[in-house]
Structures are given as structure tokens and as C-alpha cells.
Amino acid sequence: MRYELYYWPSIQGRGEFIRLALEDAGADYVDVARRPKGMQAMMHLMQSRSVKKRPFAPPFLRAGELVIAQTAMILHWLAPRLGLAPKAEAARLWLHQQQLTIADWLVEVHDTHHPIASGLYYEDQKPESLRRAQDFRGERLPKYLDYFERLERGKNISYVELSLFQMTAGLRYAFPLTMVALEPRYPKLVALHDRVMQRPRLAAYLASKRRIAFNQQGIFRRYPELDR
């Protein structure tokens, strides 16, 4: 099966959570929008009336006849096929629940720099961003980190652990000072981050050009004033 991933070509964003799973599994996939004419193909699937089940937003995955959107649902469907989730329902639902919590967490990261509207520039919502980021650093970030630090994890790496790696990496990029101060309280999450990035296929991916660098258009952005 050759999978087609559709996502904005210049940012890690939500697409990265899917890329990490595909890369870790060594899956055969195409990152469509990063290919010539790929953006047209992506916009066609989202906008053409001839496509009956149009996704609202990327990322979405095409697998044969299926087109699946929503990051957590893509992973819920894909991961058992990639060996990154068990097949039993209870175990899959538990992973899905964690992934949906990660999705909520990611929205809160985004809202530190876009608390009023995604369509406005950061510079047009700076006072609100400062307030929002202060609350995020002081209240919400430790609450999410506490939660994931304390959960029991089995020996096997699933897609949720890959996503937690991405959260730690992104938070280190966006909030370096805050993370230096907080990380001693979260040794299990730090160890998990290191363990995931040493997985051979992921290590090769992270060192390759396929891994887009964190940048100021993505969800994790570095504004030093939001990291005080």
C-alpha cells in the first residue's frame, strides 16, 4: 500500500505527527504537496465539488479509495497497520484518547501566539498573546506535562510516544527557557524523547531533508517575549 499524505509543504504542523508514524514504520508514502503540482492536487481534494467527502483541512491521508482527515483519526486508523498500535479495541481507544488530548494541547500551543484569530498576524494580537502565553507557561503546560509524565507506559513504542516526542521537541523550540526550567520535573518525558529520536528510522528521518525545520509559520513558534 502506498499512502498519500496531504499537508502544507513548508511547515511541520499537524502533518508531522503523521509523518513521524510513516517514517518510523518505513512505510511507502508520498508527501504529496511537496511534489510538483502537489498543492493543486491537495486543493482539489478539499475544494472540488466533484469530491463528495471533502476534508475541511489538512492533514489528510489517502489510502486507496479512503480519504481520512483529522490527525488523531488518521493515526487511529493507520497505526495498527504500521505496527505502531495494537489491534485490540480497548488498547486502541486508550491510545486514541491520549492522542486527542495531545491535539487539545497542540491547540493551546497555537493559541499562545494566535489567541484571537488565526487569520490575524501575531503582531495584531500581541498583548493577548502575552497574557495567554503567561497562563500557558504557568498553568496549562505543567498540567499537560504532569498528566503525560505520570501515565504508565508499556515497553512498546506506539504512535502516541512518537507524538509526545514531537511535543517535547516543539516546546523546546518555542519555549526554550520555560522548558529548561520545567524539564527536571519530567524525567520520563525527557527520556522518552531521547529514546524515540534514537530509533534508527526516525534518526535517519530527523537528519534528512524530509524533516522540515521548525519555523515561524508553524504551530510551534519562537517569540522570546512569550517565553519569559
User: Is residue 55 near ligand GSH by the rule CB under 6 A?
Assistant: no
Q: Using CA atoms, how far apart are residues 185 and 160, in angstroms rounded to an integer? A: 20
Interhelix angle 126-135/89-113, nearest 10 degrees: 140
Find the shortest distance in angstroms from Cβ 3 to ligand GSH.
16
Out of 43, 51, 57, 66, the only residue in the binding site for ligand GSH (CB under 6 A) is 57
C-alpha cell belonging to residue 99? 492522542
CB of 193 within 8 A of CB of 164? Answer: yes
| Integer Cα distance of 55 and 70 in angstroms | 8
From the list 56-64, 87-95, 130-138, 206-214, the region that binds ligand GSH by CB under 6 A is 56-64
Q: Is 221 in the site for ligand GSH (CB under 6 A)?
A: no
Stretch that binds ligand GSH, among 33-41, 57-65, 78-86, 180-188 (CB under 6 A): 57-65
Considering only residues 85 through 144, tell me which ones interact with ligand GSH, judged by CB under 6 A: 103
Segment interacting with ligand GSH (CB under 6 A) among 43-51, 54-62, 143-151, 154-162: 54-62
CA distances in angstroms from 95 to 23, 36, 50, 81, 124, listed in the order given: 19, 35, 34, 14, 38
Q: List 3's β-bridge partners, or say none.
A: 29
Q: Is 218 a binder of ligand GSH (CB under 6 A)?
A: no
Task: Indicate whether 70 belongs to the interface with ligand GSH (CB under 6 A).
Answer: yes
